[in-house]
Amino acid sequence: MSHSHAQPLPAPPGRLTLPAPVRGLAALLAAAGAAALAWAFSRGETGLAWSAYLIGAFFALGLGVFGVAWLAILSLARGDWAVTMRRPTEAMTAWLLPGGLLTLAVGLGMHSLYHWSHPEVVATDALLAHKAPFLNPAMFWSLTAASLALWALFAARLVAISRRQDREGGIAASRATRTLSAVFLVVFALTFSAVSFYLLLSLDAHWFSTMFAVLVFTDVVQTGVAFLAVVAGLLVASRKLEGFLNENHLHAIGKMVFAWTGFWAYIYFCQYMLIWYANLPEETVYFLRRADNGWLPYLLVLPLVKFAIPFLLLLPRAAKRNPRVLVPVSGLVLFAQFWELYVMVGPAIGHGGEAAHGHLPVVELAVTLGFLGLFTLVFGWALARQEAVPLKEPALAACLDYHA
């Protein structure tokens, strides 16, 4: 809840910069990820290399597009409690331009990842031939590139409006943000579905799921909120935004992590339950593939790390308000997102008698950490470019007076 009485603004905190050890660690992770990717290519393991690249690229892309989607959702929902976390959210969107280009590069490994990219295979496969008007290289490049470009453009415009408010103040910028947010979310629903279909769903081109885009969207929001919870928890613990960010705001973010963790379990179970109940071969193939060739243990670990453990640890009210609990639990959620992407991508590499076998995802994890390191460097660069708090936002006083 929020109280109606206002309070004097604390002293402006200036700008936020990532500590030197964090920047150094991020650079080290980026270098290690590049080395792991180069090692896989040098050994001729193109399937492993491109699957690791896809996992890492989509992981980081999800964090970037979450930033712009979350800004839009909060604007339309009048989420005043999150005003003092706007700068980190805006900084996340800075990844969309470099990250979009890196994600688009997945198309260079199309023949190693996507069965439908081979004309000779499509010619002998009736189902792939039926899907060919959508699943073809030209459509992949054009729709994916257009979607990524639209996300970057909308993000840049939302951030530009926020900067205008920093200079001029007033409510005109808030109204413009709400209008643009409404348009973006409609565009986002369509383009995100297309991107998730091309990059992930089409790895198993004979399979389909009407819930897949919803599941991947839930993944993105759960992971993005967890990243913000890590940032907010560290800011509260270090007192860098003292007076602007406290345990009440942390509690709200913690509730978001908790809520989206439960919602992910609901969506994931619904998808499984519907496939199990219908028992149609074109649907069951997805889980059958992930129960064979050594993949079953990896599939069974997923609901533990992405739902059961975070859900139980975040049940107490105190856990959502304590950075020493919320930060590591949110870190587990970030790891769980990597694990889910590995379960999505890994078993789909190879087809028929050449189906991939379950293995410890050492290269995949290294490459994903490399992408996370690059994302952190871009995030820190964008965060340091502006004042830490939007001091001329009309809803700032309500945010400071927020109690949970």
Q: How far is CA 392 from the centre of its chain?
A: 29
Domain ranges of the chain: 20-400
Let me know: does 341 contact 305? Beta carbons within 8 Å: no
Let me know: does 213 contact 314? Beta carbons within 8 Å: no
Q: Which pLDDT score, from 0 to 100, does residue 350 have? A: 73
Strand, coil or helix: 217: helix
Dump the DSSP string for 367-387: HHHHHHHHHHHHHHHHHTTSB
Q: Which pLDDT score, from 0 to 100, does residue 6 have? A: 52
Q: Which pLDDT score, from 0 to 100, does residue 119 have? A: 94
Quick one: residue 237, left, alpha or beta (phi over 0 = left, psi -120 to 50 = alpha)?
A: alpha
Q: Which pLDDT score, from 0 to 100, does residue 210 have? A: 86
d(CA 173, CA 390): 12
Strand, coil or helix: 2: strand
| pLDDT per residue rounded down to tens, the chain (404 residues) | 444 445 677 888 889 999 999 999 999 999 999 999 999 999 999 999 999 999 999 999 999 999 999 999 999 999 999 999 999 999 999 999 999 999 999 999 999 999 999 999 999 999 999 999 999 999 999 999 999 999 999 999 999 999 999 999 999 999 999 999 999 999 999 999 999 999 999 999 999 888 999 999 999 999 999 999 999 999 999 999 999 999 999 999 999 999 999 999 999 999 999 899 989 888 898 999 999 999 999 999 999 999 999 999 999 999 999 999 999 999 999 999 999 999 999 999 875 556 688 999 999 999 999 999 999 999 999 999 999 999 999 999 999 999 88
Q: Which pLDDT score, from 0 to 100, does residue 229 have? A: 98
Let me know: does 161 contact 181? Beta carbons within 8 Å: no
